[in-house]
Copies of this chain bind each other. A is one copy, B any other.
Amino acid sequence: MRQAGRYLPEYRALRERTPSFLDMCFTPTLAAEATLQPIRRFRFDAAILFSDILVVPLALGQSVTFEAGDGPRLDTDALGQLRERIDHGRLEPIYETIGRVKEALAPEVALLGFCGAPWTVATYMVAGRGTPDQAPARNLAYQDPQAFGRLIDRLVDASTEYLVRQFQAGVDAVQIFDTWAGTLPPAEFARWCVEPVAHVVKGVRAAIPGAPIIGFPRGAGTSLPAYVGQTGVTAVGLDWMIDAAFARAYVPAGMAVQGNLDPLVLRAGGAALDAAVDATMAAFAGRPFVFNLGHGILPDTPIAHVERMLARVRAS
């Protein structure tokens, strides 16, 4: 998952010197530094771009701000006047960050780009903020599927172009984060998660043949087979709620799996952490597997717990 470094003192020091979170995303020196910090400290096999999924609405002309401790705010009045296509000029600093990071990384360390999936990004664009149940977007999708579909289509195009540019700037693979997929009934999941991601994957591969794409349909649960069967993603990120036997049965044998330690057990540490690491390693032994968390790291996770986890994974 995104290793946003909020749990690292060196990240907090960097963040304190920067006026806003978005300024940091759009300042290549700072974003590159934040991307590299966890690699220097922990020697992870891959770095993930320091950025945010809401740069896409921003590049479509919707204003986005981050209130400290209160999450993002988006101007919902702008929904009717979005740009047809994303403003790559606005995103240029991100592409520059990718170039800087790639240059600084050892060749054996992969660099991952990312975007939010159209559905997840749309939930913020429609509600103007994060919502516990994504009710505003789900409601719009029920009441006016045509209008909602137009927004999704625009996000499919924007996400495709954005990911293609990330590859052109130097990333080795990308992730598509569908953080809020889990509140949709299966028919809506198929329509608003699976279909749009399939279009993005197809569009990216048209420009970058064979592009490695990791999908993360958080909360997909029993809809996981539809996702892995129909999106065309190269690999799938699993959240910590999914049953491993179910995942083994339904994820095609050649498809890499990434995940899926409960971020809370990493924060809790101790014997529970050791047991959970062992169980995760055992669950996906013998398959292409990337050990990771089942979602983002919690900001108050002790660094000693991360070290303990890594030692155990590397020794196994």
Give the interface size class of chain A: 35 or more
Of B138, B184, B243, B270, which is within 8 A of A186 by CB? B243
Which one of A145, A187, A221, A240 has the highest number of Cβ atoms from chain B below 10 Å of its Cβ? Answer: A221
8 Å CB interface, A196-253 against B: 219, 221-224, 226, 240-244, 246-247
Query: Would you give the shortest CB distance from A243 to chain B, in whole angstroms?
Result: 4
Copies held by the complex? 2
Of B224, B241, B265, which is within 8 A of A182 by CB? B241
- Does A14 belong to the interface (CB within 8 Å)? no
Of B142, B242, B265, which is within 8 A of A142 by CB? B265
Once A132-B132, A139-B267 are accepted as A-B contacts, the answer to whether A272 and B145 lie under 8 Å apart by CB is yes
- Does A63 belong to the interface (CB within 8 Å)? no
- Does A183 belong to the interface (CB within 8 Å)? yes
| A36–B262 CA distance with the chains assembled, in angstroms | 43
Once A132-B132, A185-B262, A279-B187 are accepted as A-B contacts, the answer to whether A242 and B221 lie under 8 Å apart by CB is yes
Cross-chain pairs A/B with CB under 8 angstroms, 11 sampled: A133-B264, A138-B264, A142-B268, A142-B270, A145-B272, A185-B240, A186-B241, A219-B241, A221-B222, A221-B241, A226-B243
Residues of A within 8 A of B (CB): 132-133, 135, 138-139, 142-143, 145, 182-187, 219, 221-224, 226, 240-244, 246-247, 262, 264-265, 267-270, 272-273, 276, 279, 294
Report the 5 A-B pairs with minimum CB-CB distance, sorted nearest first. Answer: A221-B221, A142-B268, A222-B243, A142-B272, A222-B246
